[in-house]
Amino acid sequence: MSKIHIRFEPSKELQDETVFALETARDSGKIKKGTNEATKAIERGRAKFVVIAMDVDPPEVVAHLPELCNEKKIPYSYLPGKKQLGRACGIDVPTAAVAITDPGNAIKTIKGIAEKLETLGLK
């Protein structure tokens, strides 16, 4: 039986840390933008952290990502909007999901986020 996934709304602090991790990984590591690229990175075991936008419509577009992350034991979190997620990735278009494949200088931040999520029972 698979783990039941409940979408959660991260605190403002966790959202800020997530944006910082994305910006840092974008500048010093590697990220994969978009649902398809994020899905491939997760399936191939390359994703280290995944961020999903909460305002994706229809939500089924990204509904498979948390389950995949749970299967592969990859931490994930949410940001409220696709525009915010796109900006954090350094692009001018909204994006539904992003996978960090090489954290670069964001490795400590990502570990800290993962620990917080685990403490909350969300990892």
Q: CB neighbours of 15 closer than 8 A, spacing ≥ 6?
A: 79, 80
The boundaries of the domain holding residue 52 are: 31-119
- CATH of residue 88: 3.30.1330.30
Q: What is the pLDDT of residues 18-61, one digit of tens each?
A: 999 999 999 999 999 999 999 999 999 999 999 999 999 999 99
Pair 63, 73: CB distance under 8 Å: no
In a domain, 16, yes or no: no
The order of strands in the sheet holding 49-53 is 30-33, 97-102, 49-53, 76-79
Domain count, the chain: 1
In this structure, what DSSP letter does residue 63 have? T
Q: Which helix (H) or strand (E) holds 100?
A: strand 97-102
Q: Is 2 helix (H, G, I), strand (E, B) or coil?
A: coil
In a domain, 22, yes or no: no
Enter the pTM of the model: 0.91
Q: What is the pLDDT of residues 62-101, one digit of tens each?
A: 999 999 999 999 999 999 999 999 999 999 999 999 999 9
In a domain, 14, yes or no: no
